[in-house]
C-alpha cells in the first residue's frame, strides 16, 4: 500500500475528503499530515481520522531552506513517496521540488493558467468571468505551472456571491481530488512533454 503525505495550512476539507476516500478504496492511505499553521483546523480532522500529524513551525528556522529541509527530513523518516498539497499556503522552492520530482501534486481553485497564486476564487469573482473551475496539476519549479492532470469548469451565475462560488468550487474539489490522488498513487498518470495521460 502506498503511503502518501498531505501538506496543509488551513481548514483541511480536501485532506478529509482524500483520507476518507482512500480508506474506503484500500489502495493507498494518507499516513502523514504536515501542517505549518498552529491554528489550522486540519489538525483536528487528522486526530478524528487517526492520521499522524506533525506541526513544523516556520518561525523556528533561519530561513526557507532550513524549514523545507525539516519537512523533507520528516517525509523521509515516514518513508513517504508521494505528496499531495491541500491548501498549503507556501510556495515550494525548486530545491524542495527536486527532492520529489513528479511526485507532488496540487489542487488549485481556477482553470490554470488563469488566476494563479492566492485568492484565485476571489479574483475570478471580482473579474466577473463567466466560467472558472478547478485544476489538479503536478508541482514543478514554477508557481501553479506544472503539467495539468485534470480540469473541471464551474459556471459563475449572476446570482452567485463569493460565498456561493466558494461552495461550488469546494464541492468540485472534494469530488475530483481524491480520485486523482488515487490514480497518482497507482502510478496511472503518465507525463510526456507536459502532456498528461491517465490510465
Q: Tell which residue, 9, 8, 56, has the closest CA to residue 30.
A: 8
CA distance 100 to 54: 19
Ramachandran region of residue 65, left (φ > 0), alpha (ψ -120 to 50) or beta?
Answer: alpha
Annotation says 108 is catalytic:
yes
Is the separation of the CB atoms in 75 and 34 below 8 Å?
A: yes
Is the separation of the CB atoms in 96 and 63 below 8 Å?
A: no
CA distance 76 to 138: 20
Among residues 78, 108, 145, 170, which one is catalytic?
108
Catalytic residues: 108
Amino acid at each position: 500500500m502506498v503511503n502518501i503525505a498531505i501538506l496543509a495550512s488551513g481548514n483541511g476539507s480536501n485532506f478529509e475528503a482524500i483520507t476518507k476516500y482512500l480508506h474506503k478504496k484500500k489502495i493507498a492511505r494518507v499516513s502523514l499530515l504536515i501542517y505549518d499553521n498552529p491554528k489550522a483546523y486540519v489538525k483536528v480532522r487528522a486526530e478524528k481520522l487517526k492520521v499522524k500529524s506533525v506541526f513544523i513551525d516556520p518561525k523556528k528556522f533561519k530561513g526557507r531552506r532550513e524549514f523545507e529541509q525539516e519537512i523533507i527530513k520528516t517525509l523521509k523518516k515516514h518513508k513517504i513517496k508521494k505528496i499531495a498539497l491541500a491548501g498549503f499556503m507556501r510556495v515550494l522552492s525548486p530545491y524542495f521540488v527536486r527532492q520529489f520530482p513528479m511526485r507532488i501534486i496540487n489542487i488549485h481553485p481556477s482553470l490554470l493558467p488563469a488566476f494563479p497564486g492566492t485568492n484565485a476564487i476571489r479574483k475570478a469573482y471580482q473579474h466577473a468571468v463567466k466560467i472558472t473551475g478547478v485544476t489538479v496539476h503536478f508541482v514543478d519549479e514554477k508557481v501553479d505551472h506544472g503539467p495539468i492532470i485534470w480540469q473541471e469548469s464551474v459556471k459563475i451565475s449572476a446570482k452567485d456571491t463569493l460565498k456561493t462560488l466558494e461552495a461550488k468550487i469546494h464541492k468540485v474539489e472534494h469530488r475530483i481530488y481524491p480520485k486523482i490522488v488515487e490514480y497518482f498513487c497507482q502510478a496511472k498518470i503518465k507525463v510526456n512533454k507536459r502532456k498528461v495521460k491517465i490510465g
